[in-house]
Structure 1
Amino acid sequence: MALNLSAFQARLEREGLHVFSVRVVQHGEAVGAENFAGADDIRRLQHSVSKSFTSMAVGLALEEGRLDLDTRIGDVFPEAGSDRASCASEALDPAQIRLIDLLRMSSGHDTPPLTYEERAVLEEPDWVKHYLSRPLDRPPGELFTYSSGDTYMISAMLEAVTGQTVKDYLVPRLFEPMGIDDVRWDTCPLGRTLGCTGLYLTTEELSRFGEFLLRRGVWKGRRLVSAAWIDLATSKQVATPEDGGDWGAGYGYQFWRCTHGAYRADGMYGQFCIVLPERDAVVAINSQEENMQGILNAVWEEIYPQL
């Protein structure tokens, strides 16, 4: 049954929400797709949706035995010891941060390294060295602090143990099987896949990723990532600050939990891949909008009831 997206569109217009396109898939079929204000469904920067793709690379590397969740940054980059921050104790040594701490963004920084603003002016080309030069404010694993720098370090660790950038590692394992060709994923000054941002996708391609997640790692009958990893990555692994909205429902391994029993990959300015297991549905959205909760509210109130 096709969805009526007119109320959703009217809501966007009434609230001034700048959404380019939406695509809804249910029971494996597209039930609604719309481009707004003359926009085409072209590839757009996905911002932090990229993090969730990096999470898939972690799941594959774990299955291949290249890493485990307790692997520490210092295990992978032992030569970086001389670049580490001056630490009050070993517990506050950034090299002691484990992969699991990076995945759930509990690395121990109050002010995370490698923010968008910091990356724009950073003169040090080796971002691993810069990350390790920043002291921790508390032992890793205690509290959630959103950090793109944590995801960059995941990307750097993956490249170190696989010998490939995250993009190149995922091309034959994820992108090509899903029919996503000529992948663009931006890099740091040393050529590492950013991991935390930089991936470009259409809304339709984003909906494919959502369908793959909904099927717990299977695309068109072919298993690409283990169901166990999808379940771990998309379940609540750490509490997030209560905000009364969809950013207070907890965080997984580079995925946000949502209200309505859902989870999502999301990116700055309203890139969303929302997976609704209870409704066997996916909602993919590309936007240029700071009021991201407003877009999610429109999904919950204008699209969700129809599913």
Structure 2
Amino acid sequence: MSEQLKGFIHTITEQQLNVFSIRILQKGHLLAHWDRDKDQRRVQHSISKSFTCMAVGLALEEGLIHLDATLGDYFSYDHDHVPATQRNPPSPQELKLSDLLRMSSGHDSPPLWADERASLTEKDWAKYYMSLPMDRVPGEQFTYSSGDTFMISAMLQAATGQNVKDYLTPRLFDPLGIHDVEWETSPLGVTLGCAGLWISNEELSRFGQLLLQEGFWEGRQLVPADWIRQATSQQIETTGDGDWGKGYGYQFWMCSHDAYRADGAYGQLCIVIPSKEAVICINSEEENMQGILNAVWNEVLPLYTQR
């Protein structure tokens, strides 16, 4: 089924973009797919964040948490650990779930990046996050932060009594037919939330179709439609280049052509284009993610306009 994708394959080959797999759907039907070798489960990096967002929507619906919930509702602030010169308000206790969802926590240097997580001697990552001073008032400025999403996961675990993976398994993964999910955890067993989810590109395309259908799947409303509309609408402005400057929702990026996407480092992409009833999913190991997106806009998007 790769004949329709000749232009895309030619572009990524010519530009040496290390793409492994692409699947394109319209109205729930597979239009075309291409796998360099075979589609297999790979770590999805920050696409994991968008799955964590679904857990938030479900917990909201179940009344287990609310958007104005603060970190202080669940975790203590290690005031004594912070130098006296940096104890001015605000403190991490004041951070709302809504601030974390839209990456506006108020840190100039976001905590808990992958390298920092690997070297951190503190096993309680939530405690570590709560010990760090903030640089500005939260809720006003976007700064991409995997640490924010980890704290969302930690909040959810405290609110629901389950880690995010276990909470989502009967509510999302099993209904989508995504079984035996692997999702990395912190040393204390908190689902990373921000990264570490292992699924295949075909499984990712099911998630994309669920998003396109606003949470409806095989006769069931798995995730509230209002939540998906809210999460995939712009909640804060961004200042990046290209498709990173189109705004951010709740753990989703806005992008060109009135589309939105979940994305992960090195080219994991789940692009939803509601106006075309389209889903495009890609797995890669490639730093030039904008190059992949450009290939999608130039070579894949026209396949939908011709139908």
| TM-score, scaled relative to structure 2 | 0.96
Displacement after TM superposition at 1:302 (Å): 0.2
Letter in 1 for 2:88: S
What's 1:26 paired with?
26
Question: Secondary structure in 2 aligned to 1:211?
Answer: helix
Q: Structure 2: give runs of 5+ residues left out of the alignment.
A: none
Letter in 2 for 1:147: S
Aligned mates of 2:214, 2:3 — CA distance in 1: 25
Letter in 2 for 1:199: L
Letter in 2 for 1:215: Q
Question: How big is the alpha-carbon RMSD for the aligned residues of Structure 1 and Structure 2?
Answer: 1.4
For the 8 Å contact 2:2–2:34, the answer to whether it is kept is no
What's 1:224 paired with?
222
Aligned mates of 1:252, 1:14 — CA distance in 2: 33
Aligned ranges for residues 248-267 of structure 1 at < 5 Å?
248-267=245-264
For the 8 Å contact 1:84–1:129, the answer to whether it is kept is no
Aligned mates of 1:296, 1:220 — CA distance in 2: 30
Aligned mates of 1:250, 1:48 — CA distance in 2: 16
Displacement after TM superposition at 1:83 (Å): 6.4
What's 1:158 paired with?
156
- Identify which range, 269-278 or 80-89, moves more after superposition: 80-89
Question: Secondary structure in 1 aligned to 2:22?
Answer: strand
Aligned ranges for residues 105-184 of structure 1 at < 5 Å?
105-184=103-182
For the 8 Å contact 2:236–2:247, the answer to whether it is kept is yes
Aligned mates of 1:261, 1:44 — CA distance in 2: 28
Runs of 4+ aligned residues of structure 1 deviating over 6 Å after TM superposition are none
Aligned mates of 1:182, 1:3 — CA distance in 2: 33
For the 8 Å contact 2:87–2:133, the answer to whether it is kept is no
The number of residue pairs the alignment matches comes to 302
Displacement after TM superposition at 1:306 (Å): 1.1
Aligned ranges for residues 42-81 of structure 1 at < 5 Å?
42-78=40-76, 80-81=77-78
What's 1:283 paired with?
280
What's 1:14 paired with?
14
Letter in 2 for 1:230: I
Question: Secondary structure in 2 aligned to 1:246?
Answer: helix
Question: Secondary structure in 1 aligned to 2:170?
Answer: helix
What's 1:298 paired with?
295
Aligned mates of 1:271, 1:83 — CA distance in 2: 41
Structure 1 residues 60 and 85 mapped into 2: Cα distance closer, same or farther (>3 Å)?
Answer: farther
Letter in 1 for 2:273: L
Letter in 2 for 1:283: I
Aligned mates of 1:251, 1:263 — CA distance in 2: 9
Displacement after TM superposition at 1:89 (Å): 3.0
Question: Secondary structure in 1 aligned to 2:183?
Answer: coil
Displacement after TM superposition at 1:85 (Å): 3.6
Aligned mates of 1:18, 1:292 — CA distance in 2: 10
Aligned mates of 1:45, 1:65 — CA distance in 2: 31
Letter in 2 for 1:49: I
Letter in 1 for 2:68: D
For the 8 Å contact 2:78–2:127, the answer to whether it is kept is no
Aligned mates of 1:216, 1:157 — CA distance in 2: 24
Displacement after TM superposition at 1:220 (Å): 1.8
For the 8 Å contact 2:214–2:229, the answer to whether it is kept is yes
Letter in 1 for 2:226: A
Aligned mates of 1:83, 1:97 — CA distance in 2: 19
Letter in 2 for 1:109: H
Displacement after TM superposition at 1:225 (Å): 0.6
Structure 1 residues 84 and 162 mapped into 2: Cα distance closer, same or farther (>3 Å)?
Answer: farther
Letter in 2 for 1:291: N
TM-superposition CA deviations, 1:100-152 (whole Å, max 9, x none)? 00000000000001011111111100001110111100011110000000000
For the 8 Å contact 1:81–1:95, the answer to whether it is kept is no
